[in-house]
Structure 1
């Protein structure tokens, strides 16, 4: 029993000696002196002040550039439907044909009435001329005046007949319902043989023009007031006080290749939502955008002098303020808080709190705390917000033989 206790005590003494040797070697190892962690390698971007565009992303819906509810202007029976449902038609193309027998008869009757009225004019003119020759040889003034009235009545009958003929011709032409503009048709609500009436409440079909197309956007009135205040203070520059261009992202996340323009903006704010409407117009030659589609538009609202902080390198504190981590001159991590920031593409634009040459940590900051030592590797951030290394890290010294 005593022998076993001696062996156990000797084994414990050996383990303690080995642990002490290990701690001593660790204290002497490079980079481990005093228990300090080696600097963490991080990607940094060197800050430089410049003029950058300010952007805002707004939700919106697409709507047709023009919409027409096609209705008949004369009554009758539909004789022909000349378009293919859901197809494109040109301005002036025939859409519907209404039976025109009665309208042809009315037109012929109006033509006959005009010829009859015109036939009485020469007789009235001859009678007036004769009375004028006889006025000094016993003809009375009453007969002369009656001849003048008769001619005037004959000429008025001609004018009335011409108007009736024109009206009959218009109604005859209205039996052909044509497209008022170029667009895409919907399904027809009526078929051949259906009876329609003039100016009925139900439309025959709907015609929509999709190229160009409108995008209805909504913006907060608070943002509008902030923008106007920034413009008045001189922080934001806008050329001609107009929005330069508008870019659009479709519902599937793809960017629409065409740049749109501001068409109009409402001069009133909604009482229910506190927003105001902006309408943009985009070319849509391939009919890629359809009415009712949900989109997001990035609007360029002006330019401002400042520094760009990529969105991937920034966070928000509990108060909603923008925060980012920088590397100090002595190679330590420093967190800065910014009270005011603007959107510029995939970046935040900050006008104060940064100086030229400051190094913003854009990658690797998630695992380092305040005051931690870091080793910088210069990088850039491309338009898509991805970090690209521009300077390779220093190579480790070669081992001495």
Structure 2
């Protein structure tokens, strides 16, 4: 009898231990409900509920917003014709890819006009054209390691449409327009002046984009065009933009042509 009682007591003790372990597991599960783990890594904003508030009554209650800000996406629109030209330029190799099959390099301008220091890449996310506006929504991906950009920030996107080889920038006033087209006055090393026909691209910021007819480093007359004539002589001096400090007015101020891309 004593042996049977001892065996029964041992089984009862084992059952009590199992019940205790089950209670511990239940308590651990309930304790886990008190900790909310973020499903993604990122930065968390302000709490959307206060301590002690009832949550999850019938539906999920957002507690806070976790956002991933590195990398960020910028959505913007362009006309369908511009997107087609951009894709053609990428296919022909006239634009430098930023990685990916259809990724062109982009720059972002902040609200104060400054250029964001990290270059991004263009992603063609939308495959349809808005029938009402003829626009296509595009998406640029930007690295944001320092967290400077925030979701909802207004920015402008600068997107190169093409890169022109052997093109040069000139001050707009250096280009003369006549019945035969555009031309500039070029000063040779010996001071002789000659008229040179040029082919222009789109102007930008008060500068003319010369697609052909000039080489980088050639001297072009910018000021004093009324005095200088083709076939004559000129003593070129460095040209200073308006507002910059300059010496006495020369007979003909010239500026060297500089390479450009757009």
Question: Match of 2:81, SS?
Answer: helix
Quote the residue 2:81 is aligned against. Answer: 222
Q: Relative contact order (C-alpha < 8 Å, sep 6+): which is higher?
A: 1
2:38 to 179, 189, 210: 179
Offset, 1:307: 1.8
Q: Distance in 2 between matches of 1:261 and 1:228?
A: 14
The answer on whether the counterparts of 1:326 and 1:359 sit within 8 Å (CA) in structure 2 is no
TM-score, normalised to structure 2's length?
0.57
Q: How big is each residue's C-alpha offset from its partner over 1:135-192, in whole Å with a ceiling of 9 and x where there is no partner?
A: xxxxxxxxxxxxxxxxxxxxxxxxxxx9xxx999767634421222232323222111
TM-score, normalised to structure 1's length?
0.40
**Which structure 2 segments of 5+ residues have no match?**
1-14, 175-180, 229-233, 253-262
Q: How big is each residue's C-alpha offset from its partner over 1:172-221, in whole Å with a ceiling of 9 and x where there is no partner?
A: 63442122223232322211111112672552222212222222232222
Structure in which a larger fraction of residues adopt strand? 1
1:280 to 136, 140, 150: 140
1:307 to 153, 157, 167: 167
**Rg: which structure is higher?**
1
RMSD of equivalent CA atoms:
4.8
Offset, 1:246: 2.2
Structure in which a larger fraction of residues adopt helix? 1
1:373 to 199, 222, 227: 227
Instruction: State yes or no: 1:265 paired with 2:119.
Output: no
Offset, 1:275: 1.9
Cα–Cα, structure 1 residues 337 and 215, in superposed 2: closer, same or farther, change >3 Å?
Answer: same
The answer on whether the counterparts of 1:332 and 1:373 sit within 8 Å (CA) in structure 2 is no
The answer on whether the counterparts of 1:184 and 1:210 sit within 8 Å (CA) in structure 2 is yes
Cα–Cα, structure 1 residues 373 and 178, in superposed 2: closer, same or farther, change >3 Å?
Answer: same
Offset, 1:252: 0.7
1:189 to 39, 43, 48: 48
Once the two structures are superposed, the pairs formed by residues 156-171 of structure 1 within 5 Å of their partners are none
Offset, 1:222: 1.9
**Which structure 1 segments of 5+ residues have no match?**
1-111, 117-161, 316-322, 396-401
Task: Count the aligned residue pairs.
Answer: 212
Once the two structures are superposed, the pairs formed by residues 51-70 of structure 1 within 5 Å of their partners are none
Cα–Cα, structure 1 residues 245 and 168, in superposed 2: closer, same or farther, change >3 Å?
Answer: farther
